[in-house]
Amino acid sequence: MFSSLSPSTSVVWGGFVLAFVFGFVANKTNFCTMGAISDVVNMEHWGRVRMWLLAIAVAMLGANALDYHGLIDLPKSIYLRPRLSWLSLLLGGSLFGVGMTLAGGCSNKNLVRLGGGSLRSLVVLVFMGISAYMTLKGLFGQWRANYLDPVAFDLGALGLSTQGLHSILARVAGLPQKTAQLVSVGAASLALLMFVFKDKRFRANTSQVLGSFVLGLLVAAAWYLTGHIGFGEDPQTLETVYFATASHTLESLSFVAPTAYSLELLMLWTDQSLHPSFGVASVLGVVLGSYTYAISTGQFRWEGFASLEDLRTQLLGAILMGFGGVTALGCTIGQGLSGVSTLALGSFIALAGILAGAVVTMKWQQR
């Protein structure tokens, strides 16, 4: 499909297509991590949590199958680096969890809602993007770099090449790396699948089951796109590089930092050093995919803020999501699907923070 295009163009357009499908399916199936947590906290209903966990299992199997067969090099991703900045991951994840609860949805959900006509989500995304950019390159970034990121464990000093659970297992049990990867992925995915499919009602919900498979496969496909199709020799420098990714390495779907880079591109459009990236294309793709579903089903509705108090609460949530998402290296999709699919220890720490922040905030809102 992309053989006649340059690697950069292939990655950008491929990212758009994958995200378009992601937005379409997420809108159709009402896929929402915050909503899934809320269902459990408020109604003790686990349907959407099972959907999320199934997507994680599929993404995990797909990403590690690609890595195992040498089609991508997952250890080069930002998630598996041996330096474990545990404080940034835990605090950033917790603040993101608080923020997404106050804002009524995570970054992905707000992109989906924007496609469905929510001007409220547009405002939330703009403020989240500004906060994220400040955390990447501005005032918040200085605080992050000075006080949070230095608090870390150097797992490389312990003889670990990555922070992946399989690397830890290989070190502790004395197993070959590939064997440890098979054992880790097999055990984790089997546990998830057993929990997911033990519920008869979920098994009978074809839409949620198929939707989860598709979303998980899209995460794995994004790894392949940026890590294989987008990996090659730069004709100008003759160096082997990853094309069209902001991190200059392979990436999968994530939406906080890419929202910030989307705003940067819009504001500095004439800056010749800036170009559309995989992340920017994925942000646009989710919105247009969701819009296509909403229009085709007659569900598109303009939506605004309910009150001034609603506006204040959601703007605070947006700012916390921007700071937390960048500090934790990802959101409920960036860490909760893409990061966890690599079996990175830091991704599980960030995800635990997101869950804890969301649950505590929901309990506080109830009172």
Q: How far apart are the first and last CA of the chain?
A: 54
Pair of tokens at residue 233:
């020799």
Q: Which residue type occupies 343?
A: L
φ/ψ bin of 44: left (φ > 0), alpha (ψ from -120 to 50), beta (otherwise): left
CA distance 90 to 192: 23
CA distance 275 to 137: 18
Where does the chain have alpha helices with state H?
Answer: 7-29, 33-38, 47-68, 86-102, 107-115, 119-137, 139-143, 165-173, 177-197, 200-204, 206-224, 256-267, 278-296, 308-327, 345-366
Mean pLDDT of 7-22: 97
| pLDDT at position 2 | 52
pLDDT tens digits, 225-266: 999 999 998 888 878 999 999 999 999 999 999 999 999 999
CA 90-283-77 angle, to 5 degrees, is 50
Mean pLDDT of 163-176: 94
Question: Facing residues of 216 across strands?
Answer: none
Mean pLDDT of 288-317: 95
Q: Say if pTM beats, i.e. exceeds, 0.85.
A: yes
Q: Which residue type occupies 213?
A: F
CA distance 213 to 62: 11
pLDDT tens digits, 128-151: 999 999 999 999 999 999 999 999
